[in-house]
Amino acid sequence: MLELRNVSTSYGQVSMLRNVSLNLRKGELVCLLGPNGAGKSTTFKALSGQLPLDGGEVQLMGQEVARIGTENIGALGVGFVPEGRRLFPSLTVRENLKLAYDASRSKARFDERLETTYSLFPRVQERMAQQVRTMSGGEQAMVALARALIGDPELLIMDEPSLGLSPKLIDEYFETVARIHAEGKTILLIEQNAEKALSIADRGYLLVRGQIAVEGSRESMLSDDTIRHMYL
């Protein structure tokens, strides 16, 4: 569903990602861990076609991202939760969902998709007519996730979606992500919270200074010295 092969990028003269390779097979929940500034969001931008590559290749849903152009990414059946959520604050929840639905390739009607969304996010349902800017951080996090799912994507890619939530809400958030995975979605979860991410992931990668430093199954990541030293 996703494959990065030896991806390198830079910001101006400064090299950022160096030979990053990672992949995601159908049905997996994989996490990409790494400290601040490691290059996680840069990886998100590279795999979603927002950043030119110096080298390597990104395949998303079997297509080479560099060839299809950013404007066609929405039609690939991939839901994105970007860093900072990037909702439209002055629009209502419904309007935010509708814009994402219109950009997707969903065959189901918008109303049907909303019904599915309500079952996952009952609190979003109560607030469909509310302007996003007036919602709490936890509610906005759920709206961002609902928006990524509204087009019924096969693959969900999230960049630190639980950032800023209280510990209790983080638990709820991760339970929701685990449920979405159990219902069949393939997920790439970019996270700083290694303990939480590894509690629901099948396997993971650790990015350090623009390179993959560790990769492996949940169990091997949890017992890895570098990861234990960094996080656990």
For ligand ATP, the binding residues (CB under 6 A) are: 11, 16, 34, 36-42, 83, 192
Rounded (10°) CA dihedral 104, 105, 110, 115: -90
Nearest CB to Mg ion, comparing residues 85 and 127: 85
CB atoms closer than 10 angstroms to residue 88: 14
Subset of 81-100 contacting Mg ion (CB under 5 A): 83
Binding span for Mg ion by CB under 5 A among 75-83, 130-138, 163-171, 173-181: 75-83
Distance of CA 65 to the CA centre of its chain: 17
Tokens for 69, please give them.
Answer: 């152009």
In contact, 81 and 161? CB cutoff 8 Å: yes
CA gap 13, 119 in Å, rounded: 48
Nearest CB to ligand ATP, comparing residues 34 and 56: 34
**Closest C-alpha among 84, 89, 86, 88 to residue 134:** 89
Nearest CB to ligand ATP, comparing residues 116 and 192: 192
142 φ/ψ angles, rounded to the nearest 5 degrees: -70, -35
- The least CB distance from residue 40 to Mg ion, in Å, is 5
Q: What does the per-residue mask of binding to Mg ion show for 192-231, with x meaning CB under 5 A?
A: ----------------------------------------
Rg (CA), the chain: 17
- Size of the residue set binding Mg ion (CB under 5 A): 3
Which of 9, 41, 117, 186 is the binder for Mg ion (CB under 5 A)? 41
Amino acid letter for position 34: G
Tokens for 96, please give them.
Answer: 């935010």
182 φ/ψ angles, rounded to the nearest 5 degrees: -60, -30
Select the binding partner of residue 81 from ligand ATP, Mg ion, none (C-beta < 5 to 8 A, by kind). none
- The least CB distance from residue 231 to ligand ATP, in Å, is 13
Q: What does the per-residue mask of binding to Mg ion show for 151-190, with x meaning CB under 5 A?
A: ----------------------------------------
Which stretches of the chain bind Mg ion, using CB under 5 A? 40-41, 83
